[in-house]
Amino acid sequence: MQTADRPRVGVYPGSFDPPTNGHLDIIRRATRVVNKLVVAVAVNPSKDAMFTIDERVEIVRAEIAAINNDLSSRVEVRSFEGLLMQYVRDVGATIIVRGLRAVTDFDYEFQMTGMNARLDPEIETVFLMASESHQFISSRLVKEVGMLGGTVAPFVSSAVAKRLVARIAERKAGKR
Ligand code: ADP
């Protein structure tokens, strides 16, 4: 059980391939709900990732550090593999943070939250509604826009945009 003097730890899991302005907004806002946030970057072998797990961890860390020191002191970025509920317990967290965009995320999140609640009813999932300006941003669409030669600048930081453009060029050249 959570006691008043124990810091409230949350886990924000996801693929972050790559992290978008939507993810960063959720990270920033989640620190208002929890004292410490662990951003858990999923190894996720089933997805064909644009960036490796080590790259994604490094990119999310750099994104957080670029926002401000206070945020970096309260947010830890780690990779994780396996059952989320086990990971949440292992890091001493009691809250899972997820972002919710309009109706598209609801069905999947509803099922996953129900399943997770069965696995461990002591752990709560907290949803933060995507901010109005981030409703339509997803890593998948950002990658698609980039692959088709569109500008990704409105959806990700300039550092992420640069890395994405470089990676897409490498892929097109057959290097990755
Ligand atoms: P997953 O593979 O778990 O879907 P993502 O990296 O795509 O991983 O998303 C991680 C979490 O961030 C999910 O809860 C997702 O709903 C949320 N999220 C993604 N994009 C946005 C956004 N633009 N605004 C708010 N939440 C978002």
Which atom, in ligand 1's list, is nearest to the CA of 99?
Answer: 26
**pTM: predicted TM-score of the whole model, two decimal places:** 0.94
List ligand 1's pocket residues with C-beta within 6 A: 14-16, 20, 22-23, 26, 98-99, 101, 105, 130, 134, 137-139
Query: Can you give the pLDDT at residue 45?
Result: 67
CA atoms within 13 A on the CB side of 22: 25
The residues of the chain scoring below 50 in pLDDT are none
Which atom, in ligand 1's list, is nearest to the CA of 16?
Answer: 6
Query: Can you give the pLDDT at residue 68?
Result: 86
* 78's tokens: 């780690």
Angle in degrees, 0-180, between the axes of helices 158-172 and 139-147, rounded to the nearest 10: 50
Closest CA to ligand 1's atom 12? 99
DSSP 72-125: HHHEEEEEE-S-HHHHHHHTT--EEEEEE-TTTTHHHHHHHHHHHHHH-TTSEE
Query: Can you give the pLDDT at residue 6?
Result: 81
Name the residue type at position 52.
T
Query: Can you give the pLDDT at residue 3?
Result: 57
Closest CA to ligand 1's atom 23? 22
Q: 57-80, pLDDT tens digit by residue?
A: 999 999 999 998 888 999 999 999
Distance 169 CA to ligand 1 centre (A): 25
How far apart CA 140 and CA 110 sit, in angstroms, is: 21
**Tokens 């470089």 -> residue:** 166
**Best CA proximity match to 13, nearest among 78, 62, 107, 68:** 78
